[in-house]
A and B are shown apart, each in its own frame.
Chain A
């Protein structure tokens, strides 16, 4: 093998880059962490099925925001016929009252930056980190 020194160094750098997450997680020791969400409620159902809310709540909130702020439409008829008020503070946070123990758990886990809900809405007291 020619230029062995340089080539081996290059290969070692390549292997370190490829396996970086393995060492990073071994050092942080949090590989098995899973977010646990606090939900305080007696209600049986959300405004949409859980699967939909898990994957697409941001779309729903964005649509609500546009409809309420721009068109003044405040009533939302849910999938089961119940009518809800389109409101983050009054409807959503009635059950999911604690931002730090609900919203932030997954948002931190998935590194979703800072959702701009809180640019306008005041974060409920006692709920901050």
Chain B
């Protein structure tokens, strides 16, 4: 039901762009106004959420320690899995961000006949996530050919590496296959695995379907319903240089693609996709385990008003003397 809702929502978005972009006013709406609105929402939304997270105090170091802590010199410590210094933290974060190291440790629990509970390693989620994220990054970088003039050499390098297999014209790109396959796997996983299925919400299905829509419309545009690319670049460069023009004769498949990307950008800050920024702000990953070696002072400690004995005696000396109590100073 949740999956169906997401699917229907994306189909409606596609139909909106398809029929909406037909007139010249519609083309301006879907080609200029909505992309501008979407990118504004994206940037402001991401900055807002990061600043909101930054207001949360981190009074104590809470890294997940997966190895021996640094302590006495003859005990071998684990620098990556229990970092004690900035270098260790940077290395741990880099492996986490670039290689999804914690996902690599993903396990699954299964009840086998017996009944016996069996834990096993499950690398497919890691593989699917890695394939999706890296392909998506390469695809994003490839799109810079629409936003730069002259196109930098490394962008062309990426594209020619991507088309290495030289299958067909225009060349089949490896990332197109990888990203579609990975997204289909990640979505299928939410149906086939009962535990994952029951905890999947619309907020889990919708981004996957939306991304599938973006990827499918892009693939269709490259291989099947081709559009006038120089005209598309004119539009993109106009948007970038704040001088937007909508050249005539761009096929509606382009507006479908652009609208889905706009929806993705606008939806991004409000969704789980914010893990893009969140991964850098994960206290269980980005803190060095220095709880025992360094004194950490709670940032919300307020100054405690102290009344010392000397002050107390100054205040009550006369009364104390009168009552016959001993005092330290006469």
- Pair from one complex: yes
Q: Which of B155, B170, B230, B280 contacts A10 (CB 8 A)?
A: B280
The answer to whether B306 has its CB under 8 Å from any CB of chain A is no
Chain B nearest CB: distance from A7 CB in Å? 5
- The answer to whether B50 and A11 have CB atoms under 8 Å apart is yes
Interface window among B28-36, B105-113, B146-154: B146-154
User: In the complex, A4 Cα to B50 Cα: how many Å?
Assistant: 11
Q: Is B68 an interface residue (CB 8 A)?
A: no
Alpha-carbon separation in the docked complex, A1 to B241 (Å): 34
Q: Is the CB of A14 within 8 A of B243?
A: no
Known: A2-B56, A7-B50, A11-B50. A110 touches B230 (CB 8 A): yes
Is the CB–CB distance between A28 and B150 below 8 Å? yes
| Bound Cα distance A113, B153 (Å) | 10
A30's partner among B39, B51, B149, B277 (CB-CB below 8 A) is B149
Contact B240 A22 (CB under 8 A): yes
Complex Cα spacing A116 to B151, Å = 20
Closest chain-B Cβ to A4's Cβ sits at a distance in Å of 7
CB pair B241–A111 under 8 Å, yes or no, is: no
A contact patch SS = helix
Select from chain A the residue with minimum beta-carbon distance to B277: A14
Check if A32 sits within 8 Å of B237, measured CB to CB: yes
Interface membership of chain B positions 225-262, coded 1 if the CB is closer than 8 angstroms to chain A and 0 otherwise = 01111100110010011010000010000000000000
A34 near B: Cβ within 8 Å? yes
Query: Is A31 an interface position by the 8 A CB rule?
Result: yes
Shortest beta-carbon distance from B247 to chain A in Å: 9
Question: What's the Cα separation between A55 and B58 when bound, in Å?
Answer: 55
Residue of B nearest to A2 (CB): B57
Task: Please state if A113 and B233 are interface contacts (CB–CB under 8 Å).
Answer: no
Q: Once bound together, how far apart are the Cα atoms of A55 and B54, in whole Å? A: 48
Q: Does A129 contact B (CB under 8 A)?
A: no
The distance from the CB of A76 to the nearest CB of chain B, in whole angstroms, is 17
Instruction: State the Cβ distance, A119 to closest chain B Cβ, in Å.
Output: 11
Interface members, chain A 18-45 (any B CB < 8 Å): 18, 21-22, 24-26, 28, 30-35
- Chain A residues in contact with chain B, CB under 8 A? 1-4, 7, 10-11, 14-15, 18, 21-22, 24-26, 28, 30-35, 51, 54-56, 58-59, 61-62, 106, 108-113, 116
A-B contact pairs, 5 of them (CB 8 A): A7-B281, A14-B277, A24-B152, A30-B150, A108-B150
